[in-house]
């Protein structure tokens, strides 16, 4: 499962020390360094071992490009890019005056060396890369064996970083913050030569807590200044607090009920269509998510530039579902063969991550709605490890979890293309392979739009899952800090733009 999906709750400790110089409006002089402490609860049974990777990717390292809210690549270390050679070469122009934390200036040669032979992380397009070479003092060429439309999407996860010679567990990047201090609680210090200007917050500390209550209590005691995650239940009350500001946004994660199309019943398209018709997604969002989410109709990011507004959608129609199931030869019996079982058209088992209460209520809502059309969905709560393992092996009937769209089509490809391309989930679903391949090799926006529309059509005609909802996340930040509120953006990712609020420069403990 993707790291971001695992680390939905992140422990970040950012200690920002001292209000140093910044290209942005400098805060008034304070009596000491400006520190920011962000707390978050560890996932139940989880560990903080993945924290460094995420911390690095968010603050220390930067990729060549980022993904915008519409799914298009946005400039980061690279300022622009051009496809050449029949879309077999991607020429990327690097931003000038980008420095690594050790003082080295980024050059095309250095960037090519770092990224070669392939960029870090998993990229769908990376196997097609034949070489990464500098083509100018500030340009590098990614040469491909074939057109890969997803290369730029993949590069969003490719951090430009180097291992720290003094500590191989650390990396040196070009991000707004650099790692400082020793284990077990290193801090992140503002990088003076950051190309977008030194951040106003000097130090960031990440503090892990065993539960959200502990993290929230710590925030109320003033030990931390920001909370990475506020539960749906508590969000209303947090939003009413005057000393804390809550920022909610729709995450790029969606919650599907994924079918294993190898299941003897679920392999049937008409059954999967009926199951989709049986679900009132508005109710799922309202009752299962306390209204903190948006209805999902496909795994494609709803704000994606290529998303089709004319997409066909499943309407909630339990009667049609019943009829369809009857027609499929799955009538509702008057009694069950076993008194311990409910009479049902058929039954299947749905795995769900049992230690995260977010999914239990959603699962119950879906189970109830399926029960009403006579389908017995048994819920089996499992651990994260078991869920991931069984999903990867295809050892399930269905599972309910969250999946990352990354606001890109490459991740749709990764999850919904049949193996061996997608390493994470083996559903046996291959209906979208052809369209996904077309998308992967498209060479124009028009081709991408048409392919996306076709893909959404496939997901409607032959649904591999019930795409339930897009998740909404809420961050809480003390009003001691002025936070740029860009609708739809995760404020945690904009920490480099935070500054102390003018009225209060006291440091957090």
Site residues (vs other proteins, CB under 8 A): 211-213, 216-217, 220-221, 231, 233-234, 236-237, 240-243, 287, 339-342, 352, 354, 360-361, 363-365, 367-368, 371, 379-381
Nearer Cβ to other proteins, position 162 or 217? 217
Q: Do the bridges between strand 167-172 and strand 162-164 make them parallel or antiparallel, or are there none, so unpaired? A: antiparallel
Length of the chain: 509
Q: Min. distance of Cβ 285 from other proteins in angstroms?
A: 14
CA distance 120 to 305: 26
Q: Min. distance of Cβ 14 from other proteins in angstroms?
A: 22
Backbone angles phi, psi at 433, to 5 degrees: -55, -45
Nearer Cβ to other proteins, position 221 or 506? 221
Q: Min. distance of Cβ 186 from other proteins in angstroms?
A: 28
Continuous segment of H or E residues that includes residue 217: helix 212-220
Q: Min. distance of Cβ 184 from other proteins in angstroms?
A: 24
Nearer Cβ to other proteins, position 178 or 224? 224
Nearer Cβ to other proteins, position 146 or 506? 506
DSSP codes joined into one string, 457-495 = HHHHHS-SEEEEEEEEEEEEEETTEE----TTS-GGGGG
Q: Min. distance of Cβ 339 from other proteins in angstroms?
A: 5
DSSP codes joined into one string, 394-411 = T--SEEE--EE-TTSHHH
Q: Min. distance of Cβ 333 from other proteins in angstroms?
A: 14
CA distance 121 to 44: 26
CA distance 325 to 292: 32
- Find out whether the peptide bond into 317 is cis, omega within 30 degrees of 0: no
CA 490 to chain centre: 11
The span from the first CA to the last CA of the chain, in angstroms, equals 35
Q: Min. distance of Cβ 237 from other proteins in angstroms?
A: 6
CA distance 58 to 157: 10
Nearer Cβ to other proteins, position 371 or 424? 371
Nearer Cβ to other proteins, position 377 or 491? 377
> What's the Cα-to-Cα distance from 458 to each of 89, 130, 297, 434, rounded to whole Å?
30, 33, 12, 10
Nearer Cβ to other proteins, position 101 or 358? 358
- Contact (CB, 8 A) for 382 and 354: yes
- Contact (CB, 8 A) for 306 and 449: yes
Q: Min. distance of Cβ 223 from other proteins in angstroms?
A: 11
Nearer Cβ to other proteins, position 80 or 336? 336
Nearer Cβ to other proteins, position 359 or 415? 359
Alpha helices in 151-286 (DSSP H): 151-155, 212-220, 232-240, 269-277, 281-283
Q: Min. distance of Cβ 43 from other proteins in angstroms?
A: 13
């Amino acid at each position: 499962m993707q790291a971001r999906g695992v680390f939905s709750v992140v422990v970040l400790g950012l200690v920002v020390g001292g209000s140093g110089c910044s290209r942005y409006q400098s805060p008034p002089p304070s009596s000491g360094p400006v520190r920011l402490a962000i707390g978050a609860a560890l996932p139940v049974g989880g560990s903080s071992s993945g924290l460094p990777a995420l911390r690095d990717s968010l603050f220390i390292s930067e990729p060549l490009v980022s993904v915008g809210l519409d799914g298009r690549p946005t400039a980061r270390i690279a300022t622009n890019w051009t496809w050449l050679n029949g879309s077999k070469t991607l020429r990327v122009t690097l931003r000038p005056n980008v420095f690594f934390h050790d003082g080295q200036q980024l050059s095309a040669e250095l960037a090519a060396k770092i990224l070669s032979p392939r960029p870090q992380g998993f990229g769908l397009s990376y196997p097609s890369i034949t070489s990464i070479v500098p083509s100018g003092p500030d340009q590098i060429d990614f040469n491909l064996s074939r057109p890969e439309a997803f290369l730029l999407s993949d590069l969003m996860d490719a951090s430009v970083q180097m291992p720290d010679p003094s500590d191989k567990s650390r990396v040196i990047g070009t991000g707004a913050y650099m790692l400082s201090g020793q284990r077990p609680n290193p801090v992140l210090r503002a990088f003076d030569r950051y190309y977008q200007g030194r951040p106003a917050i000097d130090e960031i500390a990440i503090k892990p807590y065993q539960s959200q209550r502990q993290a929230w209590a710590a925030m109320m005691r003033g030990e931390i200044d920001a909370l990475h995650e506020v539960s749906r239940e508590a969000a209303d009350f947090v939003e009413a607090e005057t000393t804390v500001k809550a920022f909610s946004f729709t995450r790029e994660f969606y919650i599907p009920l994924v079918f294993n199309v190898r299941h003897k019943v679920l392999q049937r398209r008409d059954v999967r269509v009926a199951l989709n018709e049986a679900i009132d997604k508005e109710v799922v969002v309202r009752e299962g998510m306390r209204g903190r989410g948006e209805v999902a109709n496909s795994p494609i990011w709803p704000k994606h530039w290529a998303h089709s507004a004319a997409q066909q959608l499943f309407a909630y129609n339990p009667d049609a579902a019943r009829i369809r199931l009857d027609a499929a030869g799955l009538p509702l019996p008057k009694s069950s063969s076993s008194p311990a079982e409910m009479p049902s058209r058929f039954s299947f088992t749905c795995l769900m991550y049992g230690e995260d209460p977010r999914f239990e209520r959603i699962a119950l809502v879906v189970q109830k709605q399926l029960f009403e059309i006579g389908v017995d969905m048994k819920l089996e709560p499992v651990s994260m490890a078991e869920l991931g393992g069984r999903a990867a092996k295809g050892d399930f009937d269905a599972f309910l979890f969250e999946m990352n769209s990354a606001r890109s089509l490459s991740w749709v490809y990764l999850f919904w293309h049949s193996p061996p391309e997608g390493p994470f989930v083996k559903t046996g679903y291959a209906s979208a392979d052809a369209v996904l391949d077309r998308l992967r090799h498209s060479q124009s926006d028009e081709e991408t739009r048409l392919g996306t529309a076709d893909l959404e059509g496939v997901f409607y005609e032959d649904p591999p899952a019930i795409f339930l909802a897009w998740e909404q996340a809420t961050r809480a930040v003390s009003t001691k800090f002025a936070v740029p509120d860009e609708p739809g953006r995760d404020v945690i990712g904009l920490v480099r733009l935070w500054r102390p609020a003018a009225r209060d420069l006291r440091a957090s403990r």
